Amino acid sequence: SKVLVSGANGYIAMWVVRTLLEQGYQVRGTVRSKDKGEFLKQYFSQIGLADKFEFVIVEDIIKEGAFDEAVKGVDAVEHVASPFTYDIKASDDLLGPAVQGTVGILRSAIKTGTQIKRIVITSSCAAVLNPTTIPTKFSEKDWNTTAEEEFKRLGEKTPVMSLYRLSKTRAERAAWDFYNEHKSKLTWDLVIINPPFVFGPPIHNIKSPKSLNLSLQFWFDAVFLAENYKTKEVLSVSNSWVDVRDTALGHVLALQKEEAGGERIITCGGGFIWQEWIQAANALPENPLKANYPDFQRGFPEILEANPQRIVTISYDISKEQRLFGMKYKTQAETTKDTLEEFAKRGW
C-alpha cells in the first residue's frame, strides 16, 4: 500500500520514509522544493529503495488545499512536517504551519483522499508536559496547559521554546477536534505519536553541525561544545528522549496496529541527564570526533555521582505504547555510538 509522508526531507520524516520502504510500502513524500526531492531520490537509490519512492512538491502547507493533490490515491498518511526551529520572526511562524498544516492535511484527506484508512500525526511530548522542577511522570492523559497561559500573558515576548510547545499543543488539539467533529463520515481513523527529545543518527541532508535540526543541535552542543554549556547547572538538567529510528518505527507500527486507532501514544526510550551523553561518548572505545573538538571534555561527572538513581525531572509512562506496540528501545550507548559514527562519516 502507499503512504504519504509530509516534510519527507526532515530528520524524523526521512527515517519514517526509510522504515516504510524497508518494510515494503510505497511512499510518496512531500517536500518544499525539487532539490530536496532529488536528494531523497538519490539517497534511497543508494540503498536500493528508490523504486518504491516518489516525491511531490507542497511549497506552502498553510495554503488552503495544499495537500489536495498529494493525498490522492494513498492508503495512509504520516503527517510529520511542522517547524521546530528557534529561527522565527513572530509567533505565527511556528503556530501557523503547525496548526494550519495539520488541519489542512485532514481537510484534504476528506476531500480527495478517498482511499485513506488511517492518518498518523507527529505531535510531541511538548503537547503533554508542563514544565516542572519536581520529578514528574506524564502520560497520555496529560496536556500542556502552561504554554497557552504563558502566551496569553506574554504574547510575542513568549520564549520560543514555549511557542514551539504551544504550536504542538494547538496542532494536536485541532487534530482531535477535527477528527471528533467529522468522525461519523470519515473513512479513516487517527493516531497521534508523542515523542520526547529525538536523538540518533541523521540521514537527512545537512552540511555541517551548525545546520542540524534543533534536537540534534542540542545534543551535539552538549556533547562537544562544552564552552556553551559551561555550567554544571546546564549539564544537570534532565528530560526524556527517544532514538530517531525507534520514533520512525513507532510511526510505522501506528499504521499497522488496528487497536492504535483513536489513540495518542507516547514513544519514549527513557530519561537522560545531559552529562550522561558526555559520559556515553567518553565510554566508547574510540570517540571518532574527539580530535576535532578540542573543547570536548569530561563535563562534570560529579553530577551523576550526586544522582546515583538517575532521577530525571520529566519522565513518561509508556505502558500504552508497550501494550499496543511492545517496542524495545535503543540505549544511550547505542544511540551515541551510531550518531558519532554518522557524524564522522560526514567529516565533522
Question: Is 81 one of the binding residues for ligand NDP (CB under 6 A)?
Answer: yes
Number of residues that bind ligand NDP (CB under 6 A): 22
Question: Is 29 one of the binding residues for ligand NDP (CB under 6 A)?
Answer: no
What count of other Cβ atoms lies within 10 Å of the Cβ of residue 137?
13
Among 21, 27, 40, 80, binds ligand NDP (CB under 6 A): 80
Region binding ligand NDP by CB under 6 A among candidate stretches 192-200, 283-291, 301-309, 322-330: 192-200
Cβ proximity of 314 and 132 under 8 Å? yes
Grid cell 489536495 — which residue?
68
Region binding ligand NDP by CB under 6 A among candidate stretches 6-14, 21-29, 109-117, 141-149: 6-14
Which residue type sits at 109? Answer: A
Pairing state of beta strands 238-243 and 270-273?
antiparallel
Given the complex with ligand NDP, which of 80 and 254 has the nearer CB atom? 80
Which residue, 178, 37, 32, 28, is CA-closest to 111?
178
CB of 306 to ligand NDP, least distance (A): 27
Cα separation values, 176 from 4, 66, 99, 252, Å: 20, 20, 12, 20
Question: Is 61 one of the binding residues for ligand NDP (CB under 6 A)?
Answer: yes
Residues in the chain: 348
Supply 166's cell numbers: 504551544
Question: Is 299 one of the binding residues for ligand NDP (CB under 6 A)?
Answer: no
Given the complex with ligand NDP, which of 122 and 169 has the nearer CB atom? 122
C-alpha span between 258 and 145 (Å, rounded): 30
Sheet with 270-273, side-by-side order of all strands: 197-199, 238-243, 270-273
Among 84, 229, 274, 348, binds ligand NDP (CB under 6 A): 84
DSSP helix/strand/coil, 30: strand
Given the complex with ligand NDP, which of 78 and 150 has the nearer CB atom? 78
Question: Is 235 one of the binding residues for ligand NDP (CB under 6 A)?
Answer: no
C-alpha span between 310 and 313 (Å, rounded): 10
Q: DSSP assignment, residue 329?
A: P
Given the complex with ligand NDP, which of 12 and 222 has the nearer CB atom? 12
Given the complex with ligand NDP, which of 115 and 176 has the nearer CB atom? 176
CB of 185 to ligand NDP, least distance (A): 27
Question: Is 240 one of the binding residues for ligand NDP (CB under 6 A)?
Answer: no
Which residues lie near ligand NDP (CB under 6 A)?
7, 9-13, 32, 61, 80-84, 97, 122, 124, 168, 195, 197-198, 213, 215
